[in-house]
Amino acid sequence: MGGHLNINHLMFLGQGALWTIGLSLIALIGGGIVGFVIALARISPLKSVRLASAIYVQLIQGTPLLVILFLGYFGIAAIGLKVSPLVAAGASLTLYVAAYLGEIWRGCIQSVPKPQWEAAEGLALSRTQRMVKVILPQAIRIATPPTVGFMVQIIKNTSLASVVGFVELMRSGQIVNNSLFEPFAIYAIIAVTYFAMCYPLSLFSQRLERRMGRGRSNLAPA
Amino acid sequence: MQQNAPSSEPIVSLHNVQKSFGALRVLDGVSFAVARGEVLALIGRSGSGKSTALRCIDRFEKVDGGQIVVCGHRVDRPDVNLRALRQDVGIVFQSYNLFPHLTIEQNITLAPCAVKGMATSQAKDLARKVLAQVGLDEKLHAYPEQLSGGQQQRAAIARSLAMQPKVMLFDEVTSALDPELTGEVLKVIEQLAADGMTMVMVTHEMGFAKGIADRIVFMHRGKVHETGPASILTSPTTPELTQFVGTGNLKS
Ligand SMILES: Nc1ncnc2c1ncn2[C@@H]1O[C@H](COP(=O)(O)OP(=O)(O)O)[C@@H](O)[C@H]1O
Ligand SMILES: [Mg+2]
């Protein structure tokens, strides 16, 4: 590379953007699965399970993502395992996202009115049946806008994975800049690209929220 | 666990039931029994413990002392089989509590399919039958929010009936309704009584209680203060019941 910004540079940035999307999806799916377990654990009938999951959430939420990424990358290396930046970043983001989604979803599950639980209980449904057939379908509707909103945070936060050498959009920008020394132009391109990925999600989240606001009566018993 | 109690034995019996919320003693030695096919009306001032007594029968509240036997289940014991108990007991709440994400038909078929393993087609037939019973056959595919309060409450009763309970509990099921919608719900309950359903109902509709109840239990400060046939509403013996029925509660 070198010289002026050309199509190759743009292709390289585009590839970085794809990895940003890829890492975001890994974080969302991995964090979603673990986060779902966390949400259920936070409202478990077992006190020890509630406590353990609460400690996990507090630990993660009290630690900067940058530190979690370093711990993931160098920590795993310290115990003798060689992991790629993708695996380290994916695992760290999964743990991070899980703590936040777990809390968001716990709140959504608990915001389903208590009489819904009781009505289901009165019909002799088991705890699992009550959760799966009565509570979760209602909680998912409540959870959709904040979850979509949180996806914006995930996309932006993947930029931190550049510190462990994962070549996503941010890191590819740094690499291009190292050869071109046109920081303003390059970071402007990167900013616009992040915006183009995040803004539609933000809009979508707001739209969902407005729609939910109108249909609030759908969720609360009269 | 005896499921089929001999008919002389009550379907529901409470003996010296105690229940406190913190320092507040809500049930203070409550005893009453309901025989098969009997309709018992629980009346009393707000806060006298009627809902709590009803909720104890279905184990939504755990008692602190005393005995509760419902269809052979020892409800006061920690090892009571809750799912078996709740298949024998139907409960209908003041706020209907239909599941808003399901159609009326799905609300009704959910428990028979999930709990009793009933086939879907059979459950749908059952849904039709119980909805006809409450006069809502045409609302099979509506969502709860599309129904009036009275219709929602009738649908909730139908949902409960679909589990073929041995006893039904009603907690002020018309209190959230406009007066003109109250009648349609009361008519459904009247028909259930005529069909021989065993029922315990908390109600403020004194005229209705008088017309339908085999027995009245008047609660006052967590105790059964006066009990007897419906005629005690017109000739009460305690000053508290006299005052209670005298304060405009006896309307028809
Ligand atoms: N879950 C609860 N926690 C604390 N206090 C309660 C609870 N449920 C009911 N109570 C109190 O118990 C008393 C009796 O309530 P309730 O049985 O609902 O009376 P009623 O149905 O006769 O109006 C009231 O003072 C009420 O505030
Ligand atoms: Mg009450």
Closest residue of chain A to B87, computed from CA coordinates? A124
SS3 B6: coil
Lowest mean pLDDT among B74-78, B146-150, B242-246: B242-246
Q: Of A116, A126, A222, which has the smallest distance from its Cβ to B83's Cβ?
A: A126
Q: Give distance in angstroms: CA of A114 to centre of ligand 2.
A: 16
More confident: A212 or A210: A210
Mean pLDDT value across chain A: 92
How sure is the predictor about A201, in pLDDT bands with cuts at 50, 70 and 90? very high
pLDDT beyond 80 at A222 = no
Neighbours of ion ligand 2 (CB under 5 A): B 51
- What pLDDT is recorded for position B7? 54
Name the residue among A109, A187, A176 with its Cα closest to residue A142. A109
- Chain B positions touching A121 (Cβ under 8 A) are 60, 82, 86
How does B23-45 read in b/e, with b if 16+ C-beta sit within 10 Å?
eebbbeebebebbbebbbbbbbb
The enclosing domain of A133 has a CATH number of: 1.10.3720.10
Q: Taking CB atoms and an 8 Å cut-off, how many pairs form between chains A and B?
A: 71
Going by pLDDT thresholds of 50, 70 and 90, the confidence category of residue A52 is very high
Residues 17-36 of A with CB under 8 A from B: none
Residue nearest to atom 12 of ligand 1 (CA): B26
Q: Which of A87-91, A216-220, B88-92, B172-176 has the lowest mean pLDDT?
A: A216-220
Give B172 Cα–ligand 1 centroid separation in angstroms: 14
CB B23 near ligand 1, within 6 Å: no
Q: Find out whether the beta carbon of B49 lies less than 6 Å from any atom of ligand 1.
A: yes
Q: How confident is residue B6, by pLDDT bands cut at 50, 70 and 90?
A: very low
Is there an atom of ligand 1 within 6 Å of B152 CB? no
Token digits of residue A170: 């941010």
| Cα-based distances in Å from A184 to A167, A177, A189, B108, B134 | 20, 9, 9, 63, 72
By C-alpha distance, the chain B residue nearest A117 is B97
For residue A122, give how far its alpha carbon lies from the nearest alpha carbon of chain B (Å): 6
Specify the pLDDT at position A4: 85
**Does ligand 1 come within 6 angstroms of the Cβ of B48?**
yes
Indicate which atom in ligand 1 lies nearest the CA of residue B53: 17
- pLDDT exceeds cutoff 60 at B238: yes
Give percent above pLDDT 90 in chain A.
Answer: 82
Chain A residue with minimal CA distance to B165?
Answer: A123
Render pLDDT for B113-144 as a digit per residue (tens, 0 to 9).
999 999 999 999 999 999 999 999 999 999 99
Contact state of B60 with A218 under an 8 Å Cβ cutoff? no
User: Which among B60, B83, B98 is the nearest to A124, CB-wise?
Assistant: B83
Binding site membership of B51 for ligand 1 (Cβ less than 6 Å): yes
The reply to whether A211 falls in a domain is yes
Counting the structural domains of chain A, the total is 1
Kind and range of the H or E element at B89? Answer: strand B89-92
Range of weakest confidence among B22-26, B163-167, B247-251? B247-251
The answer to whether residue A1 sits within a structural domain is no
Q: Which of A89, A91, A97, A86 is nearest to A31 (CA)?
A: A97
Residue A2, domain member (yes or no):
no
**pLDDT exceeds 60 at position B1:** no
Among all bound ligands, the one having the nearest atom to the CA of B56 is 1
B99 and A120: CB-CB below 8 Å?
yes
Distance B92 CA to ligand 2 centre (A): 12
CA of B54 to the centre of ligand 1 (A): 11
Closest approach of A51 to chain B, Cα-based (Å): 25
Cα of A192 to nearest chain B Cα, Å:
40
- Closest in B97, B100, B111 to A218, CB measured: B100
Q: What is the domain class of B12-247 according to CATH?
A: alpha beta
The whole-chain average pLDDT of chain B stands at 93
| Residue A213's pLDDT band (cuts 50, 70, 90) | low
Helix, coil or strand: residue B43:
strand
Give the residue with greater pLDDT, B105 vs A220. B105
- Return the percentage of chain A with pLDDT > 70, whole number: 95
What is the dihedral sign for C-alpha B174, B180, B185, B188? Answer: positive
Instruction: Report, as an integer, the average pLDDT of B197-206.
Output: 95
pLDDT at A216: 44
Taking 90 as the threshold, does the pLDDT of residue A217 lie above it?
Answer: no
Choosing from B14, B26, B175, B225 the residue with most ligand 1 atoms within 8 A of its CB, the one to mutate for a pocket test is: B26
Phi, psi for residue B228 in degrees, rounded to 5 = 165, -170
- Does A32 map to a domain? yes
CB A155 within 8 A of CB A61: no
Give the ipTM of the model, two decimals please. Answer: 0.91
* Banded model confidence at residue A99, pLDDT cuts 50, 70, 90: very high
Q: Is A118 a member of any domain? A: yes
Q: Mutate one of B54, B83, B91, B97 to test the A interface: name it (highest A CB count within 10 A).
A: B97
The predicted structure's pLDDT at residue A81:
84
Q: What is the pLDDT of residues A155-192, one digit of tens each?
A: 999 999 999 989 999 999 999 999 999 999 999 999 99
Check if B46 has its Cβ closer than 6 Å to any atom of ligand 1: yes
Residue ranges of domains in chain B: 12-247
Q: Which positions ≥6 away from A200 have C-beta within 8 Å?
A: none
Structural domain containing residue A151:
7-219
Does position A220 have pLDDT exceeding 80, yes or no?
no
Q: Residue window 136-165, chain A: list those with CB within 8 Å of chain B.
A: 137-138, 141
Residue A215 has pLDDT above 50, yes or no: no
List the one residue out of B99, B104, B94, B106 whose CA is nearest residue B185.
B94
What are the chain A neighbours of B83 within 8 Å (beta carbons)?
A: 124, 126
CA of B70 to the centre of ligand 2 (A): 21
